[in-house]
Structure 1
């Protein structure tokens, strides 16, 4: 008589060495969603509690991801070094600095001093990263095929210094914000032109990079937010930035949101550009007081919320089934 013993199969969620740095894009998107809902409370009268809850989620996610990535750095430094020096993946380290800048705005609603400290940390790290990335590219011999939308992240990160710090009270903040707008604006414009040329004249992006195409709206919508925060007004130049970003989003939406594009951590690349568009639309609608623009702002906010909820749930799903941290 044979006795069969059932051995339960253990499932592992994977190894921390495979934690992708681009997952910090989730913190960017959720922080942006919190800021958007805070603006919505002024335009639509929604409860500020919605923004508070989303902000708490963003902070907790940043803490969890930071612990995870620091652990990866300590245990597998060669993996982190490989990501940082990679011609494409290295640009996603900008998601960390942008997340810090956006969290400074989220936290500033509760503690002005804490928000200012976090902003200064984000400002220094962002400028340092932009210097490293631009210096690396100027060494030459860069493959034309590596000119992908992720290149825009370090440049957009610099503009975010003014987005988060446009009203900082420090006497030196005005010049820092102006310098950041100058660096980010010119870098983003040059890189956008190179990337657009690559997308037109060369083969389409691999499926895994398709979601990152939405990043191409970020220089215009983040530029709108940074410029208007710095100038403390909305003028015709700001309107041009907003409207072109909106047009480009409509064009790219139908190219990116397809069932044929496989789901992965790279999908979080759509979150922050959409959050920037939502914040810009809400701010512009409050300025113009047009029912059409108010409706557009409401639609974009609803779409952003739905997209981020779906991304959050699907990311948890692939985390616990072992596909997110799998080599």
Structure 2
């Protein structure tokens, strides 16, 4: 029996914001490829999607506050709340060349939200609440390591010192959580099926850190930048080996975790090619861009089907 509309709203997962991250990621990747018209069209779609999700969850908060509270106290879903603030940062980055005044406002709102959510979520992690190894996944990167996204848009907008703050926090927790996640993956039970696609998130931190590092150094490529992008390629290759097993899994919203990390390494490849004149990295960038576009098309089809069938709004 199909759930009533109000019950569907109550079970709308906060992880839906990862869809906006993926769409904005495609927009920024196509911009890096020089496909400006496509970038604007995709970014406009991402903006509409993001605003729609904000409205959706404001209504959910008003009508179903206990459902929102339950997600906040859920040890896995808690990590997805900052996907909203990261989406705002991505929207600001997209808008900067088009509507700079709006980009400033949105970036400041996104950065403030990200900073607050990082502190609150990490405080929850170290509070009296007990977390076990089974609740840890690469999705935990989103609240803390997601901070490395802020400088990508913040530096061009002139918020350099604030961007250094976010970069420092994100880089520190990348090292901390990377260690914890690998301990979880190697020495404990496999990730649950719904969370296995989140392993792709491992690609995003070094790719984003590369883009930010180069921006901090005025487009100069040094040893630090080369190290970061090559770490991004290592994790991309590592994830590629896991991909056949992932593709055999039934669709879940967590598959959207594939989109933004893939967009990050695609954008990083184009940026590296631009700085060095490397044909290899340019070709790699276009190959990754094709894979990203195909991934988003497939994810969109599966997500629309899940929305129509009501499968996306089932309680966990």
The normalised TM-score by structure 1 is 0.91
Decide whether aligned partners of structure 1 residues 238 and 201 sit closer, same or farther in structure 2, where only a CA change above 3 A counts: same
The normalised TM-score by structure 2 is 0.94
- Does the CA-based 8 Å contact 2:272-2:278 persist in structure 1? no
Deviation at 1:227, TM superposition (A): 1.6
- Does the CA-based 8 Å contact 1:104-1:119 persist in structure 2? yes
- Does the CA-based 8 Å contact 2:121-2:143 persist in structure 1? yes
Decide whether aligned partners of structure 1 residues 10 and 139 sit closer, same or farther in structure 2, where only a CA change above 3 A counts: closer
Structure possessing the higher relative contact order (Cα contacts under 8 Å, 6 or more residues apart) = 1
Q: How many corresponding residue pairs?
A: 311
Matches within 5 A, 1:208-227: 208-227=194-213
Partner of 1:91: 79
Matched, 1:166 2:155: yes
Partner of 1:100: 88
Partner of 2:8: 15
For 1:182 and 1:298, the matched residues in 2 are separated by 31
Matched, 1:178 2:164: yes
Say which of 177, 182, 186 aligns to 1:200: 186
Partner of 1:4: none
Deviation at 1:167, TM superposition (A): 2.0
For 1:72 and 1:12, the matched residues in 2 are separated by 14
Say which of 246, 252, 255 aligns to 2:242: 255
Name which one, 1 or 2, has greater alpha-carbon Rg. 1
Deviation at 1:10, TM superposition (A): 8.0
For 2:168 and 2:305, the matched residues in 1 are separated by 41
Q: CA RMSD in A?
A: 1.7
Deviation at 1:11, TM superposition (A): 8.6
Structure 1 segments unaligned to the other structure (5+ residues): 1-8
- Which stretches of structure 1, 4 residues or longer, exceed 6 Å deviation after superposition? 9-14
